[in-house]
């Protein structure tokens, strides 16, 4: 029966429902599947043609702003960057011992990590196909190392699955695949696929299912060498008189389906998360620091809080406040402006642009997200459980736990103890940082009881409380893009916008880079056309 009065579900509503049901990791999978996380189109840009004459104000020293400053200076423009923070990088940010962070509401955190320990509250991994980020790292000599996204020895955890006992990801995947393979083999063996495949193809399919699912010679997924080569042994093969392995017992397909731990599967198959993923050695902020070095001194003014942006047919005037002396205002002028301020903040400022541009700036909400980095006095996940990097998924409010891919075999380590979106993120954001950290430890102890004795300290970043972003990333829908995206990205007089919000790769550093290259190309073409006239 068709209900004519039922409104069609939007992609945004669908993702929210997915996030509520499956947590942040599952929502991120859905984002990729629905086109919110897309491959990069980056190709190293040719030098801007013609001499860049004139001056440019760049607002914000995140990656979009740093790319603009670097490329425009190379082209000969006089560039000044105004940055709210006392560091460059924006969300390209790494917290280390001694760092101090104060969020909205006045909660002040001082990082107490040991030397060599760090936490990336923003971006923390780089897909191999994000060619823009990787190319700048290559140009600037930023050393990268593998980031372990998938570890089959990590856990899939459900509070109502198997009595709340975490299951090894390899076991969940093997049993899910094995159960499906056995079911499909039975259908194929009884001729149930004769209308879909030829007899020859059916025979090949059966052989493929045996390999895929770890089935025995009778196409059954049962305890034995075939299944255990996928899910692991109860007692692994060894040496000497007691070297004979003991087979582990697979979980039946009905139990596996109803446990719903299969929600943890598939993430590694998505384009954004396929190996190899990478990370800068020593922290993600190595990229921002490299840009600062290449841009040179005297270009970035830190502690500059932009309060107004005006333009006329001769140039752009930006009013800003010195954060070290609240109430003290200054003005900076230039011929052109590249504005990378997040829309969540820019929408609250007086900006002299067209009505269409203003509507676009105000239309895009920002996703809620929260991260918590926990330092432990020993790497119990390695020592006790043989987990080296990777991610454990859970339906607990912490979203998931990620194990560091660096420092393996050393004494201490910092886990990503919580990464949340949607309602879970708002719930964490509503708590003070100390309570967020305590909750992350309490929830995490349901998976790793060692939390209780090994925890030392932590840092919590709730992105809606970050004064320089007021959110994690721009949350577009198809309808919003159709109505506002072109206006957001277009040149408006002497002002052009850039940032991950001006891309089809929201939440990724690659989106910020691609949008910046597009923006400065539009600016340069307008500037050189004006000079020629």
Same domain (yes/no): 393, 443: yes
- The most confident of the ranges 136-140, 268-272, 527-531 is 136-140
The CATH number of the domain holding residue 359 is 3.50.50.60
3-state secondary structure of 146: strand
Same domain (yes/no): 481, 354: yes
Chosen domain end from 414, 442, 465: 465
Number of compact structural domains in the chain? 3
Please give the C-alpha separations between residue 132 and each of 68, 302, 325, 511, 517, in angstroms, as whole numbers.
13, 26, 37, 9, 10
pLDDT of 29 strictly over 50: no
- β strands within 398-478, DSSP E: 400-403, 413-421, 455-462
> What is the per-residue pLDDT across 151-207, written as a single tens digit (0 to 9) for each?
999 999 999 999 999 999 999 999 999 999 999 999 988 888 878 888 888 899 999
Q: Is residue 313 part of a domain?
A: yes
Segment holding 157, helix H or strand E = strand 155-157
Same domain (yes/no): 371, 517: no
The CATH number of the domain holding residue 122 is 3.90.660.10
Tokens 């001769």 sit at which residue? 314
Same domain (yes/no): 481, 449: no
The CATH number of the domain holding residue 251 is 1.20.1440.240
Q: Is residue 288 part of a domain?
A: no
pTM: 0.90
Same domain (yes/no): 361, 375: no
> What is the per-residue pLDDT across 289-339, written as a single tens digit (0 to 9) for each?
999 999 999 999 999 999 999 999 999 999 999 999 998 999 999 999 999
The mean of the pLDDT values for the chain is 91
Same domain (yes/no): 181, 106: no
* Burial track 30-67 (b if 16+ CB lie within 10 A, e otherwise): bbbeeebbbebebeeeeebeeebebbbbbbbbbbbbbb
Q: Is residue 321 part of a domain?
A: yes
pLDDT at 87: 98
Please give the C-alpha separations between residue 15 and each of 21, 22, 125, 481, in angstroms, as whole numbers.
10, 10, 22, 17
- DSSP string for residues in 319-363: EEEETTSTT-EEEEEESEEEE---HHHHTTS-B---HHHHHHHHH
**Closest residue by Cα to residue 307 from 95, 33, 59:** 59
Same domain (yes/no): 372, 454: yes
Q: Is residue 399 part of a domain?
A: yes
3-state secondary structure of 290: helix
Q: Is residue 126 part of a domain?
A: yes
Chosen domain end from 437, 465, 493: 465
Percentage with pLDDT > 90 across the chain: 83
Q: Is residue 449 part of a domain?
A: yes
Same domain (yes/no): 409, 433: yes
CA atoms within 13 A on the CB side of 123: 30
pLDDT, average across residues 482-500: 98
Tokens 């068709």 sit at which residue? 2
CA-to-CA distance for 328 and 337, rounded, in angstroms?
22
CA-to-CA distance for 112 and 105, rounded, in angstroms?
21
Chosen domain end from 465, 497, 522: 465
Q: Is residue 394 part of a domain?
A: yes
CA-to-CA distance for 331 and 83, rounded, in angstroms?
14
pLDDT at 39: 64
> What is the per-residue pLDDT across 238-285, written as a single tens digit (0 to 9) for each?
999 999 999 999 999 999 999 999 988 877 788 888 899 999 999 999
Q: Is residue 162 part of a domain?
A: no
- Cis bond upstream, residue 276 (ω within 30): yes
pLDDT of 400 strictly over 80: yes
Same domain (yes/no): 443, 526: no
CA-to-CA distance for 61 and 300, rounded, in angstroms?
8
CA-to-CA distance for 183 and 35, rounded, in angstroms?
32
CA-to-CA distance for 156 and 26, rounded, in angstroms?
12
pLDDT at 532: 55
pLDDT of 3 strictly over 70: no
pLDDT of 513 strictly over 50: yes
Q: 140 lies in which domain range?
A: 95-153+275-281+367-465
pLDDT at 429: 92
Same domain (yes/no): 371, 459: yes
Same domain (yes/no): 242, 253: yes
Please give the C-alpha separations between residue 253 and each of 165, 168, 356, in angstroms, as whole numbers.
18, 16, 54
Same domain (yes/no): 450, 400: yes
pLDDT of 26 strictly over 70: no
pLDDT at 197: 81
pLDDT at 6: 39
């Amino acid at each position: 029966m068709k209900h004519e009065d039922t409104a069609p579900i939007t992609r945004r509503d669908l993702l929210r429902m997915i996030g509520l049901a499956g947590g942040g990791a599952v929502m991120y999978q859905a984002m990729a599947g629905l086109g919110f996380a897309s491959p990069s189109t980056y190709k190293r840009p040719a030098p801007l043609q013609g001499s860049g004459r004139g001056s440019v104000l760049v607002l914000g020293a995140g990656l979009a702003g740093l790319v603009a400053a670097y490329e425009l200076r190379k082209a000969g423009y006089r560039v000044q960057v105004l940055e709210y923070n006392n560091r460059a990088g924006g969300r390209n940010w790494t917290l280390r011992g001694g760092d101090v962070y104060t969020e909205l509401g006045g909660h002040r955190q001082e990082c107490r990590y040991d030397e060599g320990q760090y936490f990336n509250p923003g971006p923390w991994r780089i897909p191999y196909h994000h060619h823009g980020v990787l190319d700048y790292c290559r140009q600037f000599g930023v050393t990268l190392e593998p980031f372990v996204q998938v570890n089959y020895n990590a856990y899939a955890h459900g509070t109502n699955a198997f009595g709340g006992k975490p299951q090894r990801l390899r076991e969940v995947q093997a049993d899910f695949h094995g159960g499906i393979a056995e079911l499909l083999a039975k259908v194929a063996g009884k001729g149930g696929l004769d209308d879909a495949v030829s007899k020859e193809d059916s025979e090949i399919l059966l052989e493929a299912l045996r390999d895929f699912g770890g089935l025995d010679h009778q196409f059954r997924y049962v305890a034995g060498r075939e299944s255990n080569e996928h899910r692991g042994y109860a007692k692994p093969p060894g040496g000497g008189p007691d070297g004979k392995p003991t087979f582990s017992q697979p979980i039946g397909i009905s139990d596996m389906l109803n446990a719903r731990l299969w929600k943890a599967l598939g993430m590694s198959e998505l384009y954004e998360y396929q190996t190899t993923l990478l990370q800068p050695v020593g922290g993600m902020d190595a990229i921002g620091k490299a840009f600062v070095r290449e841009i040179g001194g005297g270009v970035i003014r830190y502690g500059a809080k932009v309060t107004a942006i005006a333009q006329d047919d001769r140039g752009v005037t930006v009013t800003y406040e010195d954060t070290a002396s609240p109430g003290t205002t200054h003005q900076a002028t230039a011929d052109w402006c590249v504005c990378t301020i997040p829309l969540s903040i820019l929408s609250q400022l007086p900006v002299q642009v067209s009505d269409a541009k203003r509507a676009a700036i105000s239309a895009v909400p920002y996703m809620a997200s929260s991260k918590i980095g926990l330092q432990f006095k020993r790497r119990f996940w390695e020592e006790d459980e043989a987990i080296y990097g990777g991610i454990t998924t859970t339906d607990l409010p912490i979203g998931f736990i990620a194990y560091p891919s660096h420092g393996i075999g050393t004494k201490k380590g910092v886990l990503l103890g919580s990464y949340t979106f949607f309602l879970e993120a708002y719930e964490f954001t509503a708590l003070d940082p100390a309570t967020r950290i305590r909750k992350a430890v309490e929830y995490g102890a349901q998976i790793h009881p060692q939390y209780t004795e090994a925890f030392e300290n932590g840092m919590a970043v709730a992105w809606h409380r970050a004064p320089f972003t007021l959110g994690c990333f721009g949350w577009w829908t198809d309808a919003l893009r159709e109505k506002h995206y072109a206006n957001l990205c277009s040149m408006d007089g002497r002002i052009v916008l850039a940032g991950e919000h001006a891309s089809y790769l929201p939440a990724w550093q690659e989106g910020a880079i691609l949008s910046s290259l597009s923006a400065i190309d539009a600016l340069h073409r307008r500037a050189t056309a004006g000079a020629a006239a």
